[in-house]
């Protein structure tokens, strides 16, 4: 084989790209490395590998002894899972009607839909807090009620985005199957759930992933509604570890590692759908 000539231009391009890639990979590797060292070793050289005597599980023991990570993971999964499920179910139904039917008030609903994207959480949180406090689901003794007080506003927060994405998708689907179902005597429910819903699967997955991650990472809402230990979800737990373990660097490294690794594993398998899910709303078409 002939040796391919590599131009200096390409070398610089690759060098630059690899450099940026290193900035996204290295901090994480560095964090994993140091999570297995005690404070003294971190202090001496945070760039060394935790081998031999330097290796220690102390930080992890410490974190698991003082914080209930499993309960936080469970709460996070309940919250984000419910949000993704509700958004998929309800936004699809609304998107289908907005796509296929002509009715009075359609213009108004479409306008409201786009307006819904413009409201930042800051502008709604105080009245939402009052409303939910009035219903008794804020600071309630029941964990379920507290989780619900995070789930409900997050469902609403993802709804307009999801409907807009799904409307775009359903519009491209052919109507023949729906017509056949109609002639076969299906009502709206049967047509939607048996025909349209399964066809929308790729787009629904996108919407689901987006809502899940958005909810999982959203610290602001959790700060308002999950105020006691047993209600903490992952993000708020992390925030509390940060403020309590200020100088315990080892514990911080361990908790960052524990939070990021599950996400990393999921990302390695699903990165195509995740990237699509996170950017689809932005790209026109």
Partner 1 sequence: MEAQIYKNKKLIWIFLAPAFGFMLVYLYYPFVQNILNSFMHIKYMGTAGGEWNTPWYKNYVTLLSDPKMRTALVNTVIMIAATIFGQVGIALVLALMVSNIKKGAGFFRTVFFFPIVISATALGLLFNLVFLYDKGMINQFLQFAGILNRESNQLIDWKSKYAMFTMLTPVIWQYVGFYFVILLTGLAGIPEDLYESATIDGATKWQCVRYITLPLLRNSIGTCVILAVTGALKVFDLPWTMFVNGMSNTWLTGTYMYSKVYSDVDYASSIAVVIVVIGVILSNIVNRLFQTKDDYQV
Find the shortest distance in angstroms from Cβ 231 to partner 1: 16
In angstroms, the CA 30 to CA 257 distance is 10
Find the shortest distance in angstroms from Cβ 274 to partner 1: 6
The residue (of 173 and 278) whose beta carbon lies closer to partner 1 is 278
Question: How many CB atoms within 10 Å of residue 220?
Answer: 11
Contacts of 202 (CB under 8 A, 6+ apart): 169
In angstroms, the CA 1 to CA 245 distance is 58
Find the shortest distance in angstroms from Cβ 222 to partner 1: 9
Contacts of 236 (CB under 8 A, 6+ apart): 72, 219, 222, 223, 226
The residue (of 152 and 204) whose beta carbon lies closer to partner 1 is 152
Find the shortest distance in angstroms from Cβ 201 to partner 1: 19
138: left (phi over 0), alpha (psi -120 to 50) or beta: beta
Of 285, 93, 118, 280, the residue nearest 202 (C-alpha): 280
The residue (of 97 and 143) whose beta carbon lies closer to partner 1 is 97
The residue (of 65 and 118) whose beta carbon lies closer to partner 1 is 118
The residue (of 57 and 242) whose beta carbon lies closer to partner 1 is 242
Give the CA distances from residue 202 to residues 34, 171, 239, 247, in Å, rounded to whole numbers and listed in that order.
Answer: 40, 14, 34, 46
Find the shortest distance in angstroms from Cβ 144 to partner 1: 19
In angstroms, the CA 245 to CA 150 distance is 26
The residue (of 71 and 239) whose beta carbon lies closer to partner 1 is 239
Find the shortest distance in angstroms from Cβ 123 to partner 1: 4
């Amino acid at each position: 084989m002939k040796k391919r000539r590599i131009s200096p231009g390409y070398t610089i391009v690759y060098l630059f790209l690899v450099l940026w890639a290193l900035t996204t990979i290295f901090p994480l590797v560095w964090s994993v490395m140091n999570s297995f060292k005690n404070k003294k070793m971190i202090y001496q050289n945070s760039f060394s590998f935790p081998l031999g005597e330097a290796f220690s599980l102390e930080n992890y023991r410490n974190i698991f002894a003082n914080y209930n990570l499993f309960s936080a993971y469970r709460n996070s999964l309940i919250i984000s899972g419910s949000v993704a499920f509700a958004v998929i179910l309800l936004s699809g139904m609304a998107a289908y009607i907005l796509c296929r039917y002509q009715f009075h008030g359609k213009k108004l609903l479409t306008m409201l839909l786009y307006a819904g994207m413009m409201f930042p959480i800051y502008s709604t949180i105080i009245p939402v807090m009052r409303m939910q406090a009035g219903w008794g689901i804020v600071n309630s003794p029941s964990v379920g009620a507290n989780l619900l007080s995070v789930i409900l506003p997050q469902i609403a927060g993802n709804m307009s985005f999801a409907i807009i994405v799904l409307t775009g998708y359903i519009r491209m689907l052919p109507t023949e199957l729906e017509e056949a179902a109609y002639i076969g005597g299906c009502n709206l429910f049967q047509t939607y759930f048996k025909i349209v819903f399964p066809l929308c699967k790729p787009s629904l997955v996108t919407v689901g992933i987006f809502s899940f991650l958005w909810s999982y990472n959203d610290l602001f809402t959790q700060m308002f509604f999950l105020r006691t230990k047993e209600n903490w979800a992952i993000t708020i737990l992390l925030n509390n570890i940060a403020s309590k373990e200020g100088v315990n660097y080892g514990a911080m490294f361990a908790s960052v590692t524990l939070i990021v690794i599950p996400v990393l594993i999921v990302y390695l398998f699903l990165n195509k759908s995740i990237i699509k899910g996170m950017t689809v709303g932005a790209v026109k078409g």
